[in-house]
Amino acid sequence: MSPVSGRWWAQQAWVHGAWAADVLLQADAQGHWAAVQPGTPAPPDAERLTGPVLPALVNAHSHAFQRAFIGLAEHRDSERDDFWSWRDRMYGVALRITPEQLFDVAQHLYTELLAGGYTHTCEFHYLHHASDGRPYSAHGGHDLAMARALAEAAQATGMGLTLLPVLYERAGFTQPQLREDQRRFATDLNTVLRWREQVRGWALPQVTAGLALHSLRAVRPESLRELAALNAGDPGPLHIHVAEQTAEVDDCLAHTGHRPIAWLLHQGLLDARWQLVHATHTTPAEIDGVAASGAGVVLCPGTEANLGDGLCDLPRWLAAGVPLSLGSDSQVTRTWPEELRWLEYGQRLVLRQRNVAASPGRQPATAARLFEAVRGGGAAAAGLATWGLQVGARADFLVLDTADAALTGLPAARLLDATVFASPQRPFAAVYSAGRRRTAPPEAAERCRGALQGLWPA
């Protein structure tokens, strides 16, 4: 792992939402930006970067263990195949994977995510217990063995990490207990609050913790109300899957009298700490309510497409000014340019228009508007004060590879557009987090291969 160099100079860098020329970047000893100075001649002691510089992004929603499942659910064996049948098959890996295998899979995943332009990941972590459903301490281990595997994988790769232990109490609105194949997920409110504090107590570099609630169908209403009291004043983020599937919306409406987001608003629960993951199926009134609350929305376009979730109302989310971020979720895509491309192209297909996310007169460039939206929203999703090429933010950045065939010969002002829409194969020549250049641990791919062969023998 290379040391912090402290000073870099870029001929071009993305500062305050636009390309700036001749930018001096200086990190402090803790790996945060001490200075970002456009219009500065290259000092002799600064490292000259080989290409234009972009901020890295936060991956705001990840289930690392599902990296072991990608490509294994793309056959249909019955008349109907949807999110719920995919979920039943996905539980196969959830019931088998060990902490050791999770470390190997997550280490490889985090190297892929770093190469894809993410330098911080929010792990929506509900795979808590041993395969028999008992805590790991009942087997002589540590109850946070799975969470620790994720943290150690992040440390091994240089990935920043926000661990989100998940409250998961029941199988559905009318199912007060978990299903047998959900036994590894079982938690109660006091336990996940205690686990959050334990993770914070690890004091690992670039590792922090928040809290997650699996979904309204999986959490009792009284637990949500109790959380509002027990968690008052804690600054950490709160994530929840919400309104991903129409069946979930219908069930919630039938059993509570409200759609999921409307129920959260009606209860007065939402504030700027909350992150609504997916929020695919919404009404204009719900979007306006979320905007008024200050809550953010995490979009996962690749996974939402793979699972057939549907398309969010992106134009209205953008117009309302709701903080947005991106998530790799089930890991079927692991680069943010591809996620942004999916996000825009889905809207183009359904609306039969082009440059849907652009804002003529304000920000006519689609890629720039989307990139800035998710750059800013990612900080809140991860529980970080700020993010990007600005003083105080962590010194995380990407160096574009202008030798990539898709970027060759393009005007400098169009490089972000091409990074998203020209489909470069390897857009980034270098990735830095906390002021250090990150490269894949040499053994990561082989260890992942061994873990997958153990999970899915030929």
Q: Which residue has the tokens 């001490």?
A: 34
Query: Has residue 2 got a pLDDT over 80?
Result: no
80: CB partners within 8 A, 6+ apart: none
57-382 classified as CATH 3.90.550.10: no
pLDDT of residue 1: 43
In the chain, domain spans: 7-55+391-437, 57-382
Which residues are bridge partners to 399 per DSSP?
Answer: 53, 430
Q: Could you say which of 104, 329, 396, 404 is catalytic?
A: 329
For residues 330 and 303, the answer to whether their CB atoms sit within 8 Å is yes
Q: Kindly calculate the radius of gyration of the chain based on its CA atoms and give it in whole angstroms.
A: 21
3-class state of residue 201 by DSSP: helix
Q: What is the pLDDT of residues 332-358, one digit of tens each?
A: 999 999 999 999 999 999 999 999 999
Query: Has residue 4 got a pLDDT over 70?
Result: no
- Give the whole-angstrom CA distance, residue 372 versus residue 323: 10
Neighbours of 92 (CB within 10 A): 16
Q: What is the mean pLDDT of residues 304-309?
A: 96
For residues 395 and 32, the answer to whether their CB atoms sit within 8 Å is yes
Query: Has residue 287 got a pLDDT over 90?
Result: yes
Residue 438 corresponds to which tokens in the numbers above? Answer: 């990150």
Question: Do 7-55+391-437 and 57-382 fold alike per CATH?
Answer: no
State the Cα angle at 264 between 260 and 267, rounded to 5°.
135
Q: What is the mean pLDDT of residues 93-115?
A: 97
pLDDT of residue 78: 85
Q: Could you say which of 63, 128, 129, 278 is catalytic?
A: 278
pLDDT of residue 77: 85
State the Cα angle at 407 between 414 and 61, rounded to 5°.
80
- Give the whole-angstrom CA distance, residue 394 versus residue 204: 15
- Give the whole-angstrom CA distance, residue 98 versus residue 96: 7
3-class state of residue 48 by DSSP: strand
Task: Examine the residue annotation and report whether 329 is marked as an active-site residue of this protein.
Answer: yes
356: CB partners within 8 A, 6+ apart: 314, 315, 344, 347, 348, 366
Length, in residues, of the chain: 458
Which one-letter amino acid corresponds to residue 324?
L
Query: Has residue 245 got a pLDDT over 50?
Result: yes
- Give the whole-angstrom CA distance, residue 167 versus residue 327: 20
Q: Which residue has the tokens 């260890």?
A: 447
pLDDT of residue 46: 97
Q: What is the mean pLDDT of residues 295-308?
A: 97
Q: What is the pLDDT of residues 8-57, one digit of tens each?
A: 999 999 999 999 999 999 999 999 999 999 999 999 999 999 999 999 99
Residue 226 corresponds to which tokens in the numbers above? Answer: 């109790």
Fold of domain 7-55+391-437: Urease, subunit C; domain 1 (2.30.40)
